[in-house]
Amino acid sequence: MSSISLPREVWDHQLTANAPSPVDWLWQGFVASGNITLLTSQWKAGKTTLLSLLLSRRKTGGAVAGLAVKPGKTLVISEEHASLWTARAAQLNFGRQACFLHQPFLTLPSPDQWQALVGRILQLRNEHGIDLAVIDPLAPFLSAENNARSMLQALLPLRALTQQPMAVLILHHPAKGERPIGQAARRGLTPFPQGCPRTHQPSQVTKQPIAAEKVSVPLEPCRA
């Protein structure tokens, strides 16, 4: 008897027996429970600044770039030193709704280490009700960005989070230097295993003091 567990089959009449569940948007049009969102831009364009704004609005609810934000708890897996987030938290007051895992690996993680990190995220969800996990950025966890297998090794385990259903937000930046139009947003191969690939590119986030009205998000939100 094989020990491999596979999901049960679902027939079309079972799919249509119940009305589809409404989308649970954590950030309207961009981040939803049970989905993975990829947020890309050039280096130093303001992805982490935008994330900081999102965390501040998740304290009690509000809006970022004119789009509603649902209150809730967020876990950020960050490659930045804790001191950088200390300054942001002091300025924006995340309201004890955000927690951080700083630089979780000293080297590229093995598949077992990556699975252990996913398990830790699930544990924190169960203990604290976290509904959003953020990876900022993705590149340090990839063995090879231009290899689909490497990308899938990182992305597929995240299904354990979206099946809870948590929302997952991944921040990613392309390689430095000029690139042809159409290749500037992402580097490597980016196959997405869950939901519609929600890929958004904020054109610019101001370097002025942080304020929601300063954020420019030119793309249309993903309509579910």
Q: Where do the domains of the chain lie?
A: 27-216
What pLDDT score does 151 carry?
86
pLDDT at 215 over 60: no
In the numeric block, which tokens belong to residue 137? 């950025």
Least confident of 76-85, 121-130, 174-183: 174-183
Closest-CA residue to 191 (of 143, 154, 222, 165): 154
Query: Model confidence over 139-197: pLDDT tens digits?
Result: 888 887 777 888 899 999 999 999 999 999 999 876 665 454 444 444 443 444 444 44
Range 27-216 classified under CATH 3.40.50.10070: no
Q: What pTM does this model have?
A: 0.80
The Cα–Cα gap between 129 and 127 comes to: 6
The answer to whether the bond into 180 is cis (omega within 30° of 0) is no
Q: How far is CA 7 from the centre of its chain?
A: 26
For the chain, the average pLDDT equals 82
What pLDDT score does 173 carry?
78
